[in-house]
Amino acid sequence: MTKVLCFFFVLLIVFTCTTSQEWSWIEGEQFAGVLSLPSYPGGRSGSSIWTDVNSDVWMFGGRGVSITGGGHSTLLNELWKYNMGQGKWTLVHPGTMSMTSSQETLVSPEPRQLAAACGVTNSTFVVFGGLGTEDRALADTWVYYVHKKHWIRLSETTMDLDLETNDTVPSPSGRGDMVSWCLPDKMLIFSGVDSNNNISSDLWRFSLKDMMWSEIRNSENVSDRLINGKSKHYPRARNGATSWVVNNNTVYMFGGNVLSTNILSRHLNIGYTSDLWRYNLGNNTWNYMSGHSNSCYPGVYGRFQSRDPTTLPGCRRRAASWADHNGNLWMFGGDGTDTDYPSVFHTAKLLSDVWLYEVHSGIWMWFGGRNQGESKPVYLRKGEASSAGLPGGRCDSMAWVGPGYTFYLFGGVGHDGRNLDGYLNDLWVMYMEDVIGPERGVAGGLLVFFILLAVTCVLAMCVIALYARDKHNGMTRRSLRFTAKYSKLSDTVE
């Protein structure tokens, strides 16, 4: 009996300690370069997204394939909406490349990628800047009015005038690939790259109520306080960083490219970083949290799903990100470095690793995916959730948080099911209910469950031992034959 209990105890430990996220490929194709359908967007990367309180995801622009471009790579300006409850895409606005019945061009922002976007539920969707044709940095702000179903251009440059005071209305300079954060009443943007590949270090706020820009000044970002563009209390200028919003008052930023000589099209990791920063809106302060801010370092993965203060994601840019209901930060893939130090050619790799940053402990954990770059995706049957499924290496994907502890990942540029590179339109869901459920927390719940199981097993063994000892003298000897057979436990965990 004791052996039986111990077996089930070991079995439960195996299932408990190896709890993992499960990916499910739910829509789209496993091949790159797919054109849009009237009911589903085609392959693309670098689109701007925002999620409203109705669980609708708004997606604008990006770079991908279009029938108007002859099936080749081109900039896009379509506006799509994805309803998570219905699992349905809707083309809200086809952009300037489509015509009305009277053959008049529709008015909308020009095609672009890597713009910033936020909105107000049932009211507006706002797009700022981005990179247009030949990576030309744009400085325009556009608003899509949901009920009126049309776009209006608000401002273009810092030279726009206030008609009442005749004063200059502040506005960010042209830029794309900036860091952006969406809050209930405002959008924040930081840094970004301009048409000459210069990287700015300014922080701006756009009021979604007043539709006005204002720069957020900080003593540490004044030029005479920065030494070679660096400060302990203010992050270096960058493009392509990953961002998170927690509790609507604290925002985070990870990695990106800090060298202006590293142009977008090269895909080199020479200027990539792995530093994590936190910005508090209440007191306008930045805090450096972890990582390397000066040069590209490989990832330190450690043991799978284990807490270790030495673990750290490798340098990268344009990773996908989610924040869970417990305020922890999640990150997938990107364009960067795995376990290998950068080569002399500084060629970046497309990554497919999943990382978790526990805010309360300040520790990064490798939580899923491959610890080697350039991985091919694993497509199972559509809708089948499994730890065996995995999006391949990719960057510039679009990501959002769904109800019930689910993380969505759409498209990007990366490897398809044939291991060819291109613009993807596959939609994945990562199910995290068993890992970060409402009463579990991340990983901590697994530890508590493990301890309870251990205590229960020990108590059960003691009770059985005492019972057997008391009965031993009064029992007649007889032979017992057990014929139960047990499956061999796997030595590896998928």
Average pLDDT over every residue of 218-234: 65
Q: Measured at the alpha carbon of residue 394, what is the angle toward residues 388 and 398, in degrees to the nearest 5?
A: 95
pLDDT recorded at residue 487? 29
Q: What is the pLDDT of residues 79-94, one digit of tens each?
A: 999 999 999 999 999 9
330-344, 397-411, 459-473: segment of lowest average pLDDT = 459-473
Which DSSP helix (H) or strand (E) runs through 180? strand 179-183
Distances in Å between the Cα of 116 and the Cα atoms of 78, 130, 172, 364 are 15, 7, 12, 27
Distance of alpha carbon 145 from alpha carbon 147, whole angstroms: 6
| CA atoms of 45 and 409, how far apart (whole Å) | 11
278 pLDDT more than 50: yes
Rg of the Cα atoms in the chain = 26
The more confidently predicted of residues 341 and 15 is 341
Give pLDDT, residue 297: 95
pLDDT the model gives residue 288: 96
Higher pLDDT, 362 or 453: 362
Could you tell me which of 242, 216, 248 has the C-alpha nearest to residue 53?
248
pLDDT at res. 449:
44
- For the record, the structure tokens of 23 come out as 């990916």
In CATH terms, the fold of domain 240-373 is Neuraminidase (2.120.10)
The kind and range of the H/E element at 218 are: none
Neighbours of 365 (CB within 10 A): 23
Residue spans of the domains in the chain: they are: 240-373
Binning pLDDT at 50, 70 and 90, where does residue 6 land?
very low
Tens digits of per-residue pLDDT, 162-193?
Answer: 445 555 678 999 999 999 999 999 999 999 99
Q: Which amino acid belongs to residue 345? A: F
pLDDT tens profile 238-258: 999 999 999 888 999 999 999
Helix (H, G, I), strand (E, B) or coil at 413: strand
Average pLDDT over the chain reads 83
**Residue 492 pLDDT greater than 70, yes or no:** no
pLDDT at 349 over 50: yes
Query: What residues pair up with 128 in beta bridges, in sequence order?
Result: 116, 141
What pLDDT, in 10s, does the model give residues 103-142?
445 689 999 999 999 999 999 999 999 999 999 999 999 9
Query: pLDDT tens digit string along 46-67?
Result: 999 999 999 999 999 999 988 7
Hey, which of 111-120, 335-344, 473-482 has the most confident mean pLDDT? 111-120
Mean pLDDT of 210-237: 76
